[in-house]
């Protein structure tokens, strides 16, 4: 779970912790966090929705539609303009993502790429 998700979900500001501090004082920092926030209460929701800001907008069934719209915009506009990708390749990428999205029956399966081996 990340800090940004909790900040958006709970409408709070959370202090960032440096990597060095986390390594040297991880026990103390963990206790400080769990004294303020019951992390497990939000963990399943984080797995289902991630930290995309639109998880707060509307109903659960809107999530996949909004995620698909964001992916399409990225593929059709951002990648095409930034990397001068051939539009035919964009079409192939959309088909690949479309197949992946339609085969996933649960929201958390959409994160397979970020949960994988070092991806």
Start-to-end CA distance of the chain, whole Å, equals 17
Query: Residue 116: left if φ>0, alpha if ψ -120 to 50, beta else—which one?
Result: beta
Same domain, 34 and 8: yes
Same domain, 45 and 74: no
Same domain, 43 and 76: no
Statement: residue 70 has pLDDT above 60? yes
Q: Which residues contact 88 (CB under 8 A, 6 or more apart)?
A: none
Domain count, the chain: 2
Eight-class DSSP state of 116 = S
Q: What is the pLDDT of residue 109?
A: 47
Supply the pTM of this predicted model: 0.49
Pick the last residue of a domain from 51, 72, 90: 51
- Average pLDDT over every residue of 84-105: 70
Between 40-49 and 3-10, two packed helices, what is the crossing angle to 10 degrees?
Answer: 100
Please choose, from the candidates 67, 69, 76, 75, the residue with its C-alpha nearest in 3D space to the C-alpha of residue 107. 67
Statement: residue 16 has pLDDT above 80? yes
Q: What is the pLDDT of residue 114?
A: 38
Between 62-73 and 87-103, two packed helices, what is the crossing angle to 10 degrees?
Answer: 160
Statement: residue 96 has pLDDT above 80? no
Same domain, 84 and 118: yes
Statement: residue 104 has pLDDT above 70? no
């Amino acid at each position: 779970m990340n800090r940004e998700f909790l900040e958006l979900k709970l409408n709070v500001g959370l202090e960032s912790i440096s990597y060095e501090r986390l390594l040297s004082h991880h026990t103390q920092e963990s206790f400080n966090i769990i004294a303020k926030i019951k992390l497990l209460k939000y963990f399943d929701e984080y797995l289902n929705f991630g930290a995309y800001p639109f998880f707060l907008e509307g109903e659960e069934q809107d999530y996949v539609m909004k995620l698909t719209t964001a992916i399409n915009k990225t593929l059709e506009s951002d990648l095409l303009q930034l990397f001068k990708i051939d539009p035919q390749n964009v079409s192939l990428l959309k088909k690949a993502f479309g197949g992946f999205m339609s085969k996933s029956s649960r929201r958390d399966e959409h994160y397979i790429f970020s949960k994988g081996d070092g991806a």
